Amino acid sequence: LSFNSARFLISASRLDECPPDFGAEVAFAGRSNAGKSSALNAITANGKLARTSKTPGRTRLINFFSLNRENCRMVDLPGYGYAKVSRDMKDDWQKHLGHYLNDRRCLRGLVLVMDIRHPLTDFDQMMVEWCEHNNLPLMILATKADKLKYGQAKTAMLGIAKNLKSYSCVEHLIMFSATSKRGVDECREALIEWLEG
């Protein structure tokens, strides 16, 4: 499985627009601006894969990317909490995401991208609880680690680990940076384990 092979497949705003529910998928979630698009671009070594622009219209869609193996996909979930979206749009987000997360049988795991300087927001906590409740493996990417000194980043990681120690869904907690590429290899290995396992 090669992540460099990732190609945009389709955008879906409703469950019935998603590709057939076969094979294996991993989904990426995160608060808007956490660094999810940059993380996807780093993992796939494709600077243009997930656009880093913050057009609310586009980021509300669920974007599917195919990999070089039949029915293996990466999924970019809409960023949560875009500052300018209305309450209705937030409700919409929850409805569509809820449908995807609850009904998608080929979903093998969730990658939660959080800014290492602002970890475990209410949104992150909600996603962790959801994974725990649904027995879905969770990988946490604590990204933008390059913004901190190494010692500070280490301390932040220990704090996150401590907060999550009672959650058995957390399989991987990775110090990450799309800028320095720290954690990219470790993340790829974990994704391969999920997708090929």
Structure tokens at 173: 């907690």
Give me the residue label for tokens 């469950």.
15
Closest CB 163 distance from ligand GDP, rounded Å? 21
**Whole-angstrom Cα distance, residue 111 to residue 190?**
10
Report the 3 state secondary structure along 137-191. Answer: CEEEEEECHHHCCHHHHHHHHHHHHHHCCCCCCEEEEEECCCCCCCCHHHHHHHH
For residues 100 and 121, what is the distance between their CA atoms, to the nearest angstrom?
Answer: 21
Nearer to ligand GDP, 66 or 177 (CB): 177
How many residues bind ligand GDP, per CB under 6 A? 18
Residue 71 or 179: which CB sits closer to ligand GDP? 179
**Where in 145-184 is the site for ligand GDP (CB under 6 A)?**
146-147, 177-179
Among 31-39, 63-71, 94-102, 164-172, the segment contacting ligand GDP (CB under 6 A) = 31-39
Four-residue CA torsion sign, 104, 53, 180, 150: negative
Cα separation, 35 vs 52, whole angstroms: 8
Confirm or reject binding of residue 78 to ligand GDP (CB under 6 A). no
Which of these segments, 34-42, 130-138, 158-166, 183-191, binds ligand GDP (CB under 6 A)?
Answer: 34-42
Part in contact with ligand GDP (CB under 6 A); list of ranges 61-69, 97-105, 129-137, 143-151? 143-151
The single residue among 60, 73, 96, 144 that binds ligand GDP, judged by CB under 6 A, is 144
Q: How far is the CB of 16 from ligand GDP (least distance, A)?
A: 25
Q: Name the residue with tokens 């399989």.
A: 171
Interface residues with ligand GDP (CB under 6 A) are 30, 32-38, 52, 54, 79, 143-144, 146-147, 177-179
